Amino acid sequence: MATAHSQMRTMARFSVPGGPPQPVEFGYHAVLDGRAVINRLARELPPIAADLMEIAATVFIVDRQVPRPGRRDLDTGSTWAREMQVEMPVRLPEVWNEHADRLADLLAWLTDDNWELTFTPRIGKLGPLDTSQGFLFDTIPAGAAPVLFSGGLDSGVGLATFLVDADAVAVSVDTNNWMQHVQQKVLRELDAVSGHVCVPVRYRVSARGQKHAAENSQRSRGLLFLAAGIATAWTLRHDRLQVFENGIGAINLPYVRSQLGSQAAKAMHPRTLHMAQSLASSVSGRPFRIEAPGMTSTKAQLIRKAPPGTDQALAATVSCDTGFSARVPRHLPCGTCTSCILRRQALHAASKAYLDAGVAYRVSSLERSFQLQAMRWQETRLADCLRQPDPWNALILEFPEVLDTTPLTPTEVVGLYRSYVHEWEDLPEAFRPQIGRTAAL
């Protein structure tokens, strides 16, 4: 009986209304590997940091396993939101139960789901981020700052720019070997041209025994990435984390009117960063800051700031909604998703079209791209708003989502979208499709 009780307290369980509880145990149902982080930092994650990373990884695995309503159900009036009940064993259950509502609010914002979270004491075997080994010396340069690094273009440009003036600890999360390969390649290219030290650390998070996820939206990725950065910062005894994301991609206004809530991903949205920062400060009992220096810049503006000699590193980055999928033949970026198109648009606007020309896309032509039509229709609506006597109120009426962009000011948001609209004006003919009526749906 004691053994069964112990096993219950070392694995998480989740359920949805009408369904039986299902287990999530690291090492059996899922992988959370932080050995590369612990060994490189030469120190163990403190309990609050290990808890946060395990919570985020558990949520990510649960998010993959619970399918949302299908298209037919959505067409008949169902929402795509889910009811999620999750019980997780942690080292500091009193702390996490005290702040469970704050964490649930962050998850609700990211995923549109209702999360009921319960935390129990971890009893029995060690967790995936616990270690019994000792460490002789610290391997991290004094003052090296933790930064998030995804392998995407924004994070590549941001890290390259950061390394001009300071050392960094680049924190990554990978979910498959291809994602890890891309991240490592970009970091090698940056290391070859940077005058400062960049120490890479990475977490591996993946589900076991699943060839395909039951749910592909996986909007909880934002929490997973931020948790990795925050946990590593705590371990390094830092009180801040650098995040590199352009404002257009971070705010991610809906392209079409039928796109609601977290159907437009919010992983690095200003409100997401503010909520994650507040959660980190509350659970740790000391102030924590997430700094996003590119939030008032477009992607093209960030690219223009890239230091000389970094073209090879930027070319190796991947900015594609499916570009890190292990199931994509030859791992080619699609070329036509909104992330790919924003990358291509930004490279042209930043006078680095030659970097786009060197990429092999699964589909290189944008001629029949519905996504491009939707992006140009959004840009047309933005331009109309910005021509009004009061552009901020015009933006609110057309895109109510801009009200969620605090702590950015209205002046900053208006300036951001003015720059973005201007960047579309001088692009090649390939970026000027005939906007069909379906783009407004």
- Per-residue pLDDT of 19-54, as tens digits, reads 999 999 998 899 999 988 998 888 889 999 999 999
**pLDDT at site 187:** 97
Does the structural domain 145-440 have CATH classification 3.40.630.30?
A: no
CA atoms within 13 A on the CB side of 283: 29
Which contiguous run of DSSP H or E holds residue 148? strand 145-148
How confident is the model over 181-235, as pLDDT tens digits?
A: 999 999 999 999 998 999 999 999 999 876 667 888 889 999 999 999 999 999 9
Of residues 256 and 151, which shows the higher confidence score? Answer: 151
Q: Where are the domains of the chain?
A: 12-68+82-121, 145-440
CA–CA gap between residue 124 and residue 384 (Å, rounded): 61
CA atoms within 13 A on the CB side of 377: 20
N residues, the chain: 441
* Residues paired with 86 in a beta bridge: 14, 117
Which contiguous run of DSSP H or E holds residue 291? strand 289-291
CA 409 from chain centre, in angstroms, equals: 23
How confident is the model over 119-172, as pLDDT tens digits?
A: 999 987 788 898 877 665 677 888 899 999 999 999 999 999 999 999 999 999
CA nearest neighbour of 35 among 137, 155, 153, 127: 127
- The vertex-366 CA angle with 361 and 369, nearest 5°, equals 110
Q: For residue 21, is the peptide bond before it cis, meaning its omega torsion is within 30 degrees of 0?
A: no
**pLDDT at site 5:** 39
With beta carbons less than 8 A apart as the criterion, state whether 13 and 21 touch.
Answer: yes
* Residues paired with 199 in a beta bridge: 169
Amino acid at 421: V
Amino acid at 298: T
| pLDDT over 70 at 257, yes or no | no
**Residue 390 has which token pair?**
């009061």
With beta carbons less than 8 A apart as the criterion, state whether 88 and 120 touch.
Answer: yes
CA 125 from chain centre, in angstroms, equals: 31
Mean pLDDT over each residue of the chain, to the nearest integer: 90
Neighbouring C-beta atoms of residue 431, cutoff 10 Å = 19
Identify the band that residue 1 occupies on the pLDDT scale cut at 50, 70 and 90: very low
* Residues paired with 36 in a beta bridge: none
Query: Mean pLDDT throughout 109-119?
Result: 96
Q: What pTM, to 2 d.p., does this model score? A: 0.93
Of these ranges, 3-7, 28-32, 342-346, the one predicted with the greatest mean pLDDT is 342-346
**pLDDT at site 218:** 87
CA–CA gap between residue 405 and residue 269 (Å, rounded): 8
With tokens 């959370």, the residue in question is: 32
| pLDDT over 90 at 348, yes or no | yes
Which contiguous run of DSSP H or E holds residue 118? strand 114-121
Identify the band that residue 367 occupies on the pLDDT scale cut at 50, 70 and 90: confident
CA–CA gap between residue 309 and residue 292 (Å, rounded): 24
With beta carbons less than 8 A apart as the criterion, state whether 45 and 53 touch.
Answer: yes
CA–CA gap between residue 244 and residue 186 (Å, rounded): 15
With beta carbons less than 8 A apart as the criterion, state whether 42 and 135 touch.
Answer: yes
Q: Which of 74-83, 245-254, 259-268, 415-424 has the lowest mean pLDDT?
A: 74-83
Dihedral pair phi/psi, residue 85, rounded to 5°? -115, 120
CA–CA gap between residue 56 and residue 220 (Å, rounded): 8
Query: Mean pLDDT throughout 373-396?
Result: 97
| pLDDT over 70 at 2, yes or no | no
CA–CA gap between residue 11 and residue 13 (Å, rounded): 7
Query: Mean pLDDT throughout 301-326?
Result: 91
Integer angstrom CA distances of residue 94 from 121, 188, 267, 299: 9, 42, 27, 42
Of residues 325 and 128, which shows the higher confidence score? Answer: 128
Identify the band that residue 258 occupies on the pLDDT scale cut at 50, 70 and 90: low
What burial letters (b/e) apply to 107-116, b meaning 16+ CB within 10 Å? bbbbbbbebe
How confident is the model over 415-437, as pLDDT tens digits?
A: 999 999 999 998 988 888 755 54
| pLDDT over 60 at 346, yes or no | yes
CA–CA gap between residue 238 and residue 230 (Å, rounded): 9
**Residue 197 has which token pair?**
């030290």
* Residues paired with 89 in a beta bridge: 120
- Terminal-residue alpha carbon distance, the chain: 58
**Residue 227 has which token pair?**
């948790």
**pLDDT at site 281:** 98
| pLDDT over 50 at 65, yes or no | yes
| pLDDT over 90 at 275, yes or no | yes
